[in-house]
Amino acid sequence: MPTLDLTASSVAITRAICDIPSVSDDETPLADAIEAAVSGYSHLEVIRDGDTIVARTSLGRSRRVVIAGHIDTVPINDNLPTRDVEIDGEAFLWGRGTVDMKAGVAVQLKLAVELTEPPVDITWMWYDHEEVDSALNGLGRLARNHPDLFVGDFAILGEPSNGEVEGGCNGTLRALVRTTGVRAHSARSWIGENAIHKAAPVLARLAEYRAREIEVEGLVYREGLNAVRITGGVAGNVIPDACEVEVNYRFAPSRDAAAAERVVRDVFTGFDVEIVDVAVGARPGLDAALAREFVAAVGATPQPKYGWTDVARFSALGIPAVNYGPGDPHLAHHDQERVPLAQIESVERGLRSWLTGS
């Protein structure tokens, strides 16, 4: 079994956990290594659920913070093992998982074992299956199996945020917009009705749609409505009788699921629309006392999170949550995924400063 030295630097720990491949469905070796590394510390109670590892303090503090990060990655594409690279004079660690989100997890692991007397109780969560279907998500499973672990006054998710604080997140909705026609031989196309051609107004409405910018608790979230997939066709000589345009709507956290669905149905009035998936976003939660203290301690200017993240799971449980981790989110899942070494160290300093009051 691979081993982890959590007395090493956060950069060295990042390198070590990235070099333990953990593509979704294959997290067990890394989960085993994390469990072994954090066990045996008297200030931590360690709990395992599948390949999710929880380590928490029980010091009797009046407030509790949950700090979480996922340990799985998208598939590797010739970008492991990690290597050190320099770009325009800046040092980076290159490789799968460096951005999304093992650098953040490395910082958390180091602080979890070092901070034996934090001013707040802390529940650390390192979970599996974030990069796949939501039904498999380790954080969601943990909430179902151990709801008692989700008691907290504030939560931080180590999603890559360029070392800045990103509050809340947009919601996401997927819908199928369908058109129908009549099959016919393509040599006699006038006998049929082409369902793919009927999808042209759907694409036109998408092209004409102007994304809204909506302010929520001082942060401006940009929405988006886009076609992400088109399916249709029978054969090379058949007029198609069915077509589906899959649409993804990213909506501000001020909207609930019903409001988001109304927007999509209004845009596609007159078409057959099926909502196939929806996950509401998370409001920034920056008015919470611990959130204000955290932002002040790390010296950040909060920004909105445009993508959906697991902060929404905490928000749904009434726990205000933010995203805070090293790495450029534009490089998440990229074949050139890489994280600045200075950013890993900066995030460690920020969290350490807040959690120690120094």
In contact, 196 and 233? CB cutoff 8 Å: yes
The token pair at 6 is 């959590």
Q: How many residues does the chain have?
A: 358
**Lookup result for tokens 């070494």:** 341
Taking the C-alpha atoms of residue 307 and residue 246, their distance in angstroms, rounded to an integer, is 18
CA angle in degrees (0–180, nearest 5) for 174-281-131: 65
User: Between β-strands 165-167 and 321-324, what pairing exists: parallel, antiparallel or unpaired?
Assistant: antiparallel
Pull the structure tokens for residue 114.
């070092």
Query: Mind telling me the catalytic residues?
Result: 72, 130
Could you give the 3-state DSSP secondary structure of residue 13?
helix
Task: Give 3-state DSSP helix, strand, coil % of the chain, rounded to 5.
Answer: 35, 30, 40
Alpha carbons 204 and 227: distance in angstroms, whole number? 11
Work out the number of other CB atoms within 10 angstroms of the CB of residue 286. 18
Angle, vertex CA 98, rays to CA 97 and CA 101, nearest 5: 65
Give me the residue label for tokens 């994280």. Answer: 339
Indicate the residue type of 106: A
In angstroms, rounded to a whole number, what is the distance separating the alpha carbons of residues 330 and 94? 14
The residue behind tokens 């997939």 is: 229
